[in-house]
Structure 1
Amino acid sequence: MIRPSLIALCLLVAGTAQARAPLRPASDRPDAPKAAFDWFEYTGADPSDAAFKPTSAQYANPILKGTYPDPAVMRVGQDFYLASSTFAWFPGLPVFHSTDLVHWNQIGNAIDRPGMLDFKRLGLSRAVFAPTLSHRDGLFYILNTCVDCGGNFLITAKDPKGPWSDPVWLPAVAGIDPYLFFDDDGGALIVFNGEPPGKPEYSGHRAIWAIGYDARTQKTIGEPKLLLDKGVNPAAKPIWPEGPHILKKDGWYYLVAAEGGTAEGHSQVVLRSKSALGPYAPYTHNPILTQRGLPKNRPLPITSAGHATLVDTPDGKWWATFLAVRPYGDDLYNTGRETFLLPVEWKDGWPIILEDGRTIPYVHAKPDLPATAPAPPPTAGAFTVREEFDGQALPLSWVTLRIPQQRWWRLESGKLVLTARPETIGGMTQPSFWGRRQQHINASASTLMRFDPAKAGDKAGMVAVQNDDHFFFLGLTRDASGQAKIVLERRAGSGDPVDGVQVASAPVAPKAGAPVWLKITARGGLYDFAYALAPGRWTTLKAGEDGTILSTKKAGGFVGALLGVYAHEGLADPGQDR
């Protein structure tokens, strides 16, 4: 692959935490409308936070609230590292560090510059799927799948903070969820989910394969070998054996994988063999983790648990990170697939995360490990986070849609300034948007904005978005008559206009450059939208909007909701085709 030029490299990273080079101009049109945001505050508290308060000797699940799915964990010495999926958000594949497995500092994003990958006009639940982490001889590896944008690849770094290398593509690894296993003898295998041998017998019939890998040449060796067809009980026609990992303990090779799809039937299973290439025999009492089959009316349910990664601690204990969800209704959740942590118990040579029929606890005793330093920003329990935009970079946790090819934002005098462009939030493009995850079922986000819409269709404000077809916009615009308005727009499916349908509006007459306060509040499946023209004098524009349109069940895909800021330039000619 051709390495990006210095110019392409600096377009994105200079304005995130990896800033290294002078910025190019934020817009090719200096007269384009600009929206300035003084700060952005997020706060959230869930019923489980009040019902299950951890003591000083306990931690709270999930350990990473909000959409941090497919968590892969790895230990190097005393340090633990974790990466998760980001699909078509950018920067992609966040990398975290911890020493206690509970508190995690985000130290980088593995996909952090244009030229590494091309997300094109992919849906937000395509692109980079589940990453996996490996380490050998001072080099860190991430293996990943860019779905519909290149296939399987590996990237490497000497420091997990980055920079990570350009992708090395793995054409012989045909499938998803690749993981690089290094054996004690120096050999290496890539295990992955792929098509079954022969013709699939039913929907969801998949297999797990392994192929040799040469770390010196960064190439695969030989032909793939089948490790598991269908799943641990082929007669039951199991679906989607995926997320495979191999670990070695006490002379046994353990093949640990998810089964049952990522919805409520999700589970984790394990097999073992005396050889890395099998044959693998399944554990008699699989699954080793699941929440399927539990009463649907149980209070504060946690569901869809699976896609686990096992890791040992320096004192010989074992733990697992995995994804699960916290619905507020019948499989309705807007927070996406979150990261949970539980200990692993070994029984008769088999790892057990949670015996079948037991519910995932919201609080659990902490691992006996040294505290993570410096203390990370909160990611569990109830919390408030305020971003003042007074640093040199946006927080590493902030993301945008797809991969920008030019700088349309800047941090200036304690403000985040967005250049409004014709690219729209619903247009399968790369709009002027930055946001952060909704991390609680009950949450609110607010900001102070200064924006002067010059013409009809110019608008800026806040967005709650799940994908291009499902979002809310709350902000300031100007209608065809020249009237400035605060509007609420909603897109609840591909049948709605690209910009959404206006569901509420209020005429306003702010002075040019005067501040406007905006606030979005989530109450489970209900969302409220408010504005103010003076500090603290909130006016509710619309309350009780159907926020279930941001749920995975209705919007589809694998991502959760984002809350953020957005600017859009209306077309000079209203009849012009977008």
Structure 2
Amino acid sequence: MKTRVRNWRSAAGIGALVLAVACAPADAPISPPPASAEARFAYLTYSGSDLIFDLPLSGGQARNPILAGYYPDPSIVKVDEDYYLVNSSFTHYPGIPVFHSRDLINWTQIGNVIDRPDMLDFSGLTVSRGVFAPTIEFHDGLFYVINTCVDCGGNFIVTATDPAGPWSDPLWLPHVGGIDPSLFFDEDGKLYILNNDAPEGEPLYQGHRAVWIREVDPESFAQVSEPVVAVNGGVDLSQKPVWIEGPHLYKVDGKYLLSAAEGGTGPQHSQVILTAESPLGPFTPHPDNPVLTQRDLPEDRPEPITSVGHADFTQDSDGNWWAVFLGTRPYQGNEYNTGRETFLMPVTWENGIPRITAPGDVIPHVIDRPALPAQPGAPLPLTGNFTYTDAFDEEALPLHWLTVRIPSEDGYRLENGELVLEKRAEGVGNPGHPSFLGRRQQHMNAEAYTEVLFVPGDSDDEAGIAAFQNDAAYYTLGLSLDEDGAPVVRLRKRASVDTDPDGEIITEVPALAAPGEPLKLKIAAHGPEVDFYQASPEGVWQPVALGEDGTILSTEKAGGFVGTLLGVYAQSDPD
């Protein structure tokens, strides 16, 4: 945790106020400081404390998930002694985070695949569209990420010699439809693309999908063979399986293994295996499917890990197999605000197929570490309980910070150890590009707080801290003015697309700071409830509102595929 002694009263707004007081006649009125065009944030401190992360560890153990918070749809590749992992990011920008590890436990974000505004266009998209499940591969010195931009171009491939970037501009694949494409480089040099798409003919039921496969040219990616259906519906079409997706193809001991998710991304999620003698099939479902699920366990089990699936496999240098996959940690029912997280489990082989869980197996919160040389923990903690402060004293915003959709211009800067955010007319509930930056909520019990210097010009100006799931599911806690021009802290809430994009004002209380003075604001999440506080820089936290409904930020209620971001915002007229 970084600490800095700040002299906020050297800031322009404070300086103007001090000068006005010093120079004004004794009986002259004191002019208020001029309104701010920008909000200045001194830091953002995030703290998380979940009971499962208090479980003791021995020297040979590690925590699950390995990436806590909104890191869904993991894909992994091993290159020499290094492992690289990518996740979905939908319309958050920068997109598709890239992680590196040498022990499969400690991960460091080294880049983002989508990190230039001209790579993709998310304009007008809701938060859970954009880039879905990516696949990362490595072949002949080149890294590949294949992905779908949903409602923004379709399937594409980008490449890089360094996974930290830069990545190439997208090469679009108009002959590959649907979502969740993946690549398979065979030993004979041939390249295949798999993807989820509609089945042949008319779907037989809601959720009836298929996995398709075709050979493509390794250089141009042009189609070489006609696509064929590798999986129709799922492992047993008579049972009406739904949402077969996220396919990956492997070759093990001369046999081709197709692994795919089945059952949707909720509690019925699972992973299934099919086998073939040829990369184009025909593929035969293994009789012992699924090889990963938690849907067969009691719903009332303590501290559950649910909705597991969308796995990808890798092998360590000793020949041991491992799987990364997504899962969720609900605080009640199927409600969680942290999104879908990345878990790790060892893989065993039974009857020629990889198995992650057997029927009745519970995915543990503590696992045995891989027998790999342990590496130091990452600068940014990604699992366990921790407190971390972004002090905004680097040259660039840290890689784990996100905004919504791809901006035409940044609208922020780092200056003198502060994050300076311009106020925009687009509010947090606006489907454009609001002036909002945030980081993932990684714990069901989490706090985020900041110190803001902002002088509102009128009651439409706000700047502060936000808990944002999507445009229609958020809380903002901001410094503003009331109709009489007095400084207030205003709490807004939006819980539905059918409500005002500006949000409902829950409460408005006098600010504990005079105009031109800094103010501290805090959001504290406790599973299904959220508390909101304010304080002067030297004062103690005072409640603004307690016990507000946190379930509006859950995937179950807010919908979509993302998790909550905690961050800062600045806006002028929300209309």
Taking structure 2 as the reference length, the TM-score comes to 0.93
Residue 271 (1) aligns with residue 278 (2): no
Task: Give the equivalent residue in structure 2 for 1:45.
Answer: 49
- For residues 461 and 363 of structure 1, the distance between their equivalents in structure 2, rounded to whole angstroms, comes to 37
Residue 333 (1) aligns with residue 361 (2): no
Q: Which of 34, 37, 49 in structure 2 is aligned with 1:33?
A: 37
Q: Deviations over 1:511-562 (max 9, x none)?
A: 3431100110000010000000242411100000001000011100001100
Residue 141 (1) aligns with residue 144 (2): yes
Task: Give the equivalent residue in structure 2 for 1:465.
Answer: 468
Task: Give the equivalent residue in structure 2 for 1:251.
Answer: 254
Task: Give the equivalent residue in structure 2 for 1:301.
Answer: 304
Q: Which of 546, 558, 569 in structure 1 is aligned with 2:572?
A: 569
Q: Which of 218, 238, 242 in structure 2 is aligned with 1:239?
A: 242
Task: Give the equivalent residue in structure 2 for 1:76.
Answer: 79
Mind listing any 5+ residue stretches in structure 2 that lack a counterpart?
1-33
Q: Which segment drifts farther, 222-231 or 119-128?
A: 222-231
Task: Give the equivalent residue in structure 2 for 1:200.
Answer: 203
Residue 492 (1) aligns with residue 495 (2): yes
Task: Give the equivalent residue in structure 2 for 1:514.
Answer: 517
| Cα drift, residue 484 of structure 1 | 1.4
Amino acid at match of 1:459: E
Amino acid at match of 2:351: D
Answer with 1 or 2: which has the greater Rg. Answer: 2
Instruction: Report if aligned partners of 2:35, 2:456 keep a CA contact under 8 Å in 1.
Output: no
| Cα drift, residue 279 of structure 1 | 1.1
Residue 219 (1) aligns with residue 228 (2): no
| Cα drift, residue 220 of structure 1 | 2.8
Instruction: Report if aligned partners of 2:76, 2:314 keep a CA contact under 8 Å in 1.
Output: yes
Instruction: Report if aligned partners of 2:421, 2:570 keep a CA contact under 8 Å in 1.
Output: yes
- For residues 305 and 347 of structure 1, the distance between their equivalents in structure 2, rounded to whole angstroms, comes to 20
SS at match of 2:226: strand
Amino acid at match of 1:69: P
Amino acid at match of 1:330: G
Task: Give the equivalent residue in structure 2 for 1:14.
Answer: none
Instruction: Report if aligned partners of 2:216, 2:224 keep a CA contact under 8 Å in 1.
Output: yes
| Cα drift, residue 376 of structure 1 | 4.2
Instruction: Report if aligned partners of 1:131, 1:143 keep a CA contact under 8 Å in 2.
Output: yes
Task: Give the equivalent residue in structure 1 for 2:359.
Answer: 356
Task: Give the equivalent residue in structure 2 for 1:126.
Answer: 129
Residue 312 (1) aligns with residue 322 (2): no
| Cα drift, residue 480 of structure 1 | 2.8
Instruction: Report if aligned partners of 2:487, 2:515 keep a CA contact under 8 Å in 1.
Output: no
Task: Give the equivalent residue in structure 2 for 1:183.
Answer: 186
Q: How does 1:528-543 map to 2 (within 5 A)?
A: 528-543=531-546
Q: Which segment drifts farther, 165-174 or 208-217?
A: 208-217
| Cα drift, residue 121 of structure 1 | 1.2
Task: Give the equivalent residue in structure 1 for 2:458.
Answer: 455
Residue 55 (1) aligns with residue 53 (2): no
| Cα drift, residue 509 of structure 1 | 6.6
- For residues 349 and 449 of structure 1, the distance between their equivalents in structure 2, rounded to whole angstroms, comes to 59
Mind listing any 5+ residue stretches in structure 1 that lack a counterpart?
1-29, 572-577
SS at match of 2:552: helix
Q: Which of 552, 561, 567 in structure 2 is aligned with 1:558?
A: 561
Task: Give the equivalent residue in structure 2 for 1:370.
Answer: 373
Question: Superposition RMSD on alpha carbons, in Å?
Answer: 1.3
| Cα drift, residue 508 of structure 1 | 2.9
Task: Give the equivalent residue in structure 1 for 2:547.
Answer: 544
Task: Give the equivalent residue in structure 2 for 1:283.
Answer: 286
- For residues 479 and 35 of structure 2, the distance between their equivalents in structure 1, rounded to whole angstroms, comes to 19
| Cα drift, residue 462 of structure 1 | 0.3
SS at match of 2:52: helix
Instruction: Report if aligned partners of 2:451, 2:537 keep a CA contact under 8 Å in 1.
Output: no
| Cα drift, residue 32 of structure 1 | 6.3
| Cα drift, residue 483 of structure 1 | 1.9
Task: Give the equivalent residue in structure 1 for 2:399.
Answer: 396
Instruction: Report if aligned partners of 2:35, 2:455 keep a CA contact under 8 Å in 1.
Output: no
Q: Which of 74, 97, 100 in structure 2 is aligned with 1:97?
A: 100
Q: Which segment drifts farther, 333-342 or 226-235?
A: 226-235
| Cα drift, residue 31 of structure 1 | 8.3
Instruction: Report if aligned partners of 1:309, 1:320 keep a CA contact under 8 Å in 2.
Output: yes
CA separation of 1:56 and 1:536: change in aligned 2, threshold 3 A? farther
Task: Give the equivalent residue in structure 1 for 2:14.
Answer: none
Task: Give the equivalent residue in structure 2 for 1:439.
Answer: 442
Taking structure 1 as the reference length, the TM-score comes to 0.92
Instruction: Report if aligned partners of 1:125, 1:557 keep a CA contact under 8 Å in 2.
Output: yes
- For residues 91 and 378 of structure 2, the distance between their equivalents in structure 1, rounded to whole angstroms, comes to 29
Task: Give the equivalent residue in structure 1 for 2:390.
Answer: 387
| Cα drift, residue 570 of structure 1 | 2.2
CA separation of 1:374 and 1:539: change in aligned 2, threshold 3 A? closer
Q: Deviations over 1:83-110 (max 9, x none)?
A: 0000010000000000011111000000
CA separation of 1:417 and 1:351: change in aligned 2, threshold 3 A? same
Amino acid at match of 1:109: N
- For residues 84 and 524 of structure 1, the distance between their equivalents in structure 2, rounded to whole angstroms, comes to 24
Q: Which of 315, 321, 325 in structure 1 is aligned with 2:324?
A: 321
Q: Which of 157, 161, 164 in structure 1 is aligned with 2:160?
A: 157
Q: Which of 483, 503, 511 in structure 2 is aligned with 1:480?
A: 483
Amino acid at match of 2:246: G
| Cα drift, residue 273 of structure 1 | 1.1
Instruction: Report if aligned partners of 1:231, 1:259 keep a CA contact under 8 Å in 2.
Output: yes
Instruction: Report if aligned partners of 1:103, 1:376 keep a CA contact under 8 Å in 2.
Output: no
Residue 112 (1) aligns with residue 115 (2): yes
SS at match of 1:48: helix
- For residues 467 and 145 of structure 2, the distance between their equivalents in structure 1, rounded to whole angstroms, comes to 30
Q: Percent same amino acid among aligned pairs?
A: 51
Instruction: Report if aligned partners of 1:32, 1:421 keep a CA contact under 8 Å in 2.
Output: no
- For residues 389 and 281 of structure 2, the distance between their equivalents in structure 1, rounded to whole angstroms, comes to 51
Q: Which segment drifts farther, 218-227 or 79-88?
A: 218-227
Instruction: Report if aligned partners of 2:487, 2:514 keep a CA contact under 8 Å in 1.
Output: no
Instruction: Report if aligned partners of 1:489, 1:504 keep a CA contact under 8 Å in 2.
Output: yes
- For residues 539 and 343 of structure 2, the distance between their equivalents in structure 1, rounded to whole angstroms, comes to 37
- For residues 509 and 266 of structure 1, the distance between their equivalents in structure 2, rounded to whole angstroms, comes to 48
- For residues 218 and 256 of structure 1, the distance between their equivalents in structure 2, rounded to whole angstroms, comes to 22
Q: Which segment drifts farther, 246-255 or 30-39?
A: 30-39
